[in-house]
Amino acid sequence: MSVDVLTALPALARRLGGADAVLAGAERLSGGASMETWSFSVEAPGAPRRDLILRRRSAPFDPETSRSTSLAAEAALIAAVSARGAPAPPLVHVCDEADGLGECHVTQKVAGETLGRRIVSDPRFDAVRPKLARQCGEVLAQIHATPPPPEANLKTSDFLAELARYEETYRSTGAERPVLELSFKHLKKHAPPPVEPVLLHGDFRNGNLMIHPETGVAAVLDWELSHIGDPAEDLGWICVNSWRFGRPDRPVGGFGDYAELLAGYEAAGGAPIPLSRVRAWQALGSLKWGVMCLMMYMSWATGTEVSVERPMIGRRVSETEADLVHILEAGL
Amino acid sequence: MITHPRTEELTEAVARWVDSIRPQLGPREAFLARVAANVLGVVGRELTLGPAAQAAATDRLIVLLDHGGGYAELNSELCQRLREGTMDATTPGLLAALKANVLDQLAIDQPNYRHE
């Protein structure tokens, strides 16, 4: 279904702000391949201007086969984790057929920065940067302590299941990459033993965090990959070098150290996690990202996607191979 | 090969033009234009660095597998041996060879990437 978002937004503005409300500025934010993000504002006489974010699925969604949750599930997750004190963007509206926008939801715009490179290197974040790794640990402990909302209908996974799923995907591409082959085999052999699964964000990394230059982590965004699994999965994912934005010396998101992340996690009530577990999930994270890059190239090669972004992402596989070979060299 | 201009000069010229029009574009198109300019950067580096990188990678695979052959067949054989487990991270010289090959590829794909 093709939807002209700009045509449909004025009616949504009236629905949210009343009959006199008008749309004041709307633009698609860059990034996001399967999901569109729009920034827009609603103005109504006598009311303060409301700055909002529309998240909208732009590619077809199959709840049976997709790893993504529905946007309605995402809304339920935001409500559930907010109740436990985790920062998430306040939910304003879940769109229905009357909105004519397809599957989407609206949240308040939270002030801050999401661009990883700026968070890692812009002097505006110098003061708050040393606090971020610890805050990330605290926030993850809050998320992991949240009972999964039943209506979100989340899938459960663990280390070996994730590994098998990505290996199957890799095989389906027909690519032959020695470092990926070695990593699948090595991680299978060195998989950390399973633990009691918890609610996971599933895509907790620098880039999905709204960071305020004074207060730090202001909101955790993009809940579509949420699932139930090993708590170390979320901690390992934010340590994947692909989201350190040129600062491999600061393993947590390019802004902090492992010890700060783990200390924040424990201080907020999270069960202690050994660093070796985080490193194993980090290695699996690099491997997963490498396979995802291959898949994004494949979606272009098979004609499913036409954007120039897709084939170029295929050339990011070598970054994950460089990271993996160094992790294997250091030992797991 | 034609040298006036060389092929990598043509890709560089187009990349510079794409960069020059970026300020006139909306956020989404400007992002894609930056990606397009980066694509041309990869193509340019593959033209200049690719042949030597592939030759060096082939030599490393010949040493590792202890017999001759072309890059594609050697790479395929290495993948099969890693899959079967007859070679692994403890195989002498394996990690060093893989690292050298991957870093040469990274120099083409993303020379500014700072690895783990």
CB-CB: which of B30, B79, B114 is closest to A248? B114
A26, containing H or E segment: strand A22-28
Chain B residue whose CA is closest to A246: B114
Beta carbons of A182 and B82 less than 8 Å apart:
yes
* Whether the predicted pLDDT of A1 surpasses 60: no
Beta carbons of B109 and A325 less than 8 Å apart:
no
Query: How much is the average pLDDT of A284-301?
Result: 95
SS3 A55: strand
* Whether the predicted pLDDT of A66 surpasses 90: no
CATH 3.90.1200.10 in chain A, residue ranges: 116-330
Lowest-pLDDT range, A99-103, A285-289, B78-82?
A99-103
CATH 3.30.200 in chain A, residue ranges: 5-108
Task: Specify the CATH number of the domain A116-330.
Answer: 3.90.1200.10
B63 touches chain A (CB under 8 A): no
Beta carbons of B116 and A326 less than 8 Å apart:
yes
pLDDT digits (tens, 9 = 90+) for B4-23: 999 999 999 999 999 999 99
| CA–CA gap between residue A258 and residue A248 (Å, rounded) | 12
| CA–CA gap between residue A129 and residue A123 (Å, rounded) | 10
Cα first-last separation, chain B: 38
Beta carbons of B102 and A328 less than 8 Å apart:
no
CB-CB: which of B36, B83, B99 is closest to A325? B99
Q: Is A263 exposed, middle or buried (0-12, 13-18, 19+ CB in 10 A)?
A: middle
Whether A103 and A60 have beta carbons less than 8 Å apart is answered as: no
Beta carbons of B94 and A311 less than 8 Å apart:
no
* Whether the predicted pLDDT of A40 surpasses 90: yes
Q: CA separation (Å) from A29 to A37, B34, B96, B103?
A: 6, 15, 42, 33
* CA–CA min distance B42, chain A (Å): 9
- The pLDDT mean for chain A works out to 94
Sole residue written with tokens 């043509």: B10
Chain A residue whose CA is closest to B27: A30
Beta carbons of A322 and B28 less than 8 Å apart:
no
- For chain B, what is the radius of gyration of the CA atoms? 19
Q: What percent of chain A has pLDDT over 70?
A: 96
pLDDT score of A36? 87
Backbone angles phi, psi at B68, to 5 degrees: -80, 180
B58 touches chain A (CB under 8 A): no
Beta carbons of B98 and A325 less than 8 Å apart:
yes
pLDDT digits (tens, 9 = 90+) for A72-85: 899 999 999 999 99
Beta carbons of B115 and A27 less than 8 Å apart:
no
Query: How much is the average pLDDT of A125-131?
Result: 98
Domain A5-108 in CATH 3.90.550? The answer is no
Whether A85 and A150 have beta carbons less than 8 Å apart is answered as: no
Q: Is A259 exposed, middle or buried (0-12, 13-18, 19+ CB in 10 A)?
A: middle
pLDDT score of A72? 87
Residues of B in contact with A182 (CB under 8 A): 82, 88-89, 94, 98
Residues of A in contact with B31 (CB under 8 A): 30-31, 309
